[in-house]
Structure 1
Amino acid sequence: MGNADNIKIGVKGRAYVADVGTTFPTSPFVAWGTGWADLGYMHPDGLEEALGEDRTEINAWGEEAPVKTRIKSRDGSFKITFLETTADLLALYYAVLTDDMTSVAAVVGPPATAQYLSFGTGQASPGIEKALGIDIIEGDEIERIMIARVDVSDRGNRKRSADDASSFELTFKPLAAPSGGQAVQRFLTNVALPTP
C-alpha cells in the first residue's frame, strides 16, 4: 500500500553559487557557508531537472531487440528562472565575470545620480564555471543538490514589461567534478533505505 508521506512537493527553494572548489555543507541541516551567494527569489515554476543518457546498442542477427546496451555518457540539466536582478545573476546570464563589472557610486549632486553597474559583452569566452547548490524545501523536508562544477548551457529570453518581472531563465549543465569526485551529490531527508 502507498504512503502519502513519501510524496515530495517542492513548496519553495533556494539556489546558491560559489567558486568551483568552495566547500559544500556536510549535511542537509548545515547552513551554506562562506563563499556561497544566495541567488534570491525564483519563479513559482520552481526547478526543472532533466536526465539523459547516450547508449550504444548491440544488435544480433535475427533478434528484433538489442541484445545488450552500454552507456556511453550520462548528462543532465537544472533549469531555474530567477526573479531578482543582482550582479551574480547578471554575470551568469551575460557570461561576464563580476571582476569585469564596475560599480559607479551614487552622487548626491547637484545633479544627483543613482548608483549604477557597468559592464560590456560580446567577447568570446569559455563560459563562467561555478559550483551550484539547490535546496528544495517542504516544511522540515529538504532535498539538497550540490553540483561541483556547472556552466550555463542555455539562457531564456528576457522580457521587460509592466505585466511581469524581468527574469533570468538559466539552464545549468553539470560538468565533470574537479579531481574526479562526484559531479552531483544529493541529500534527501526522511527517505529510508529498504531493509535487506
Structure 2
Amino acid sequence: MGDASTIIVGTAGKAYMGDVGATFPTGPEIAWGSDFTDMGFVTPDGLEEALEEERTQLDAWGEDAPVIDLAKKRTQTFKLVFRQTTAQLLSLYYQVGIDNMTSTAAAVGPPAKKQFISFGSGSLSDTVEIALGLDVIMSGKRHRIMIARAGVTEREAIKHSADDSSNYGFTFTALAAPGGAQSVQHQITDVPLPA
C-alpha cells in the first residue's frame, strides 16, 4: 500500500564544502561542524544526483544468458548551480587554490578604492578537491549526502547579463575516499528498515 509520508520533495537544500579528510556529522539532524563552509544560495533547480555503472558480463559454454554480471565501475555525480560569487566558488570554477589568490584591501582614499581579489586560472596540475556535504530538506525530513572527496568534472558557462545572476554551475564527481573509506554516504530521516 502506498504511503504519502515517504515521498520526499526537495523544497529546500544546502551545500557545504570542507577540506578532504574533514569530519562529517554523525546524523542528518546534527549541525555541520566548523570544518565545513556553507556554499551559499542554490538555484531553484536544486540538486541532480546520478549514478552510472559500467558492467561486464561473463558467458559460459552452453548457457544462453550471462552467468555473471559484474559492476566494474560506479560513478556518482551531483549537479548544482550556485547564485553567489565567493572565493570558494571561484576557486572551484577556475581550479585555483585559495592560497593562490590575493586580496587587496579597500582604501579610504582619496581616491577611495574597493577591496578586490585577484588570481590567475589554475594550471592543469592545480586540481582543487573538496569534501562535499549536501542536505535535501522537506517538511522536517532530511536526506543528507556526504562525499568524502569530490572534484569538479563539468562547469556550466557563466552568463553575465541583466536577466539573471552570474551563476556557477558545477557537476561534482565522487572520487575514491582517503584510506579506503566509503566515498559517498547517505543519511535519510524517517525511513525504517523492514522487520
Kindly report which structure 2 residues correspond to 1:43-192, keeping only aligned pairs within 5 A, or say none: 43-60=43-60, 65-192=65-192
Kindly report which structure 2 residues correspond to 1:10-29, keeping only aligned pairs within 5 A, or say none: 10-29=10-29
Amino acid at match of 2:165: A
Q: In the alignment, what sits opposite 1:41?
A: 41
Aligned pair count reads: 195
Counterparts of 1:151 and 1:88, CA distance in 2: 13
CA shift for structure 1 position 124:
2.0
Counterparts of 2:188 and 2:35, CA distance in 1: 23
TM-score, normalization by structure 1: 0.95
What's the RMSD between the two structures over aligned residues?
Answer: 1.3
Unaligned runs of 5+ in 2: none
Amino acid at match of 2:150: V
- Secondary structure of the 2:148 match is strand
The answer (yes or no) to whether the contact 2:96–2:126 under 8 Å persists in 1 is no
Identity in percent: 53
Counterparts of 1:175 and 1:126, CA distance in 2: 16
The answer (yes or no) to whether the contact 2:147–2:185 under 8 Å persists in 1 is yes
Counterparts of 2:186 and 2:133, CA distance in 1: 10
- Secondary structure of the 1:93 match is helix
Counterparts of 1:104 and 1:39, CA distance in 2: 23
Amino acid at match of 1:27: G
TM-score, normalization by structure 2: 0.96
The answer (yes or no) to whether the contact 1:127–1:152 under 8 Å persists in 2 is no
CA shift for structure 1 position 67:
3.3
The answer (yes or no) to whether the contact 1:43–1:83 under 8 Å persists in 2 is yes
The answer (yes or no) to whether the contact 1:40–1:82 under 8 Å persists in 2 is yes
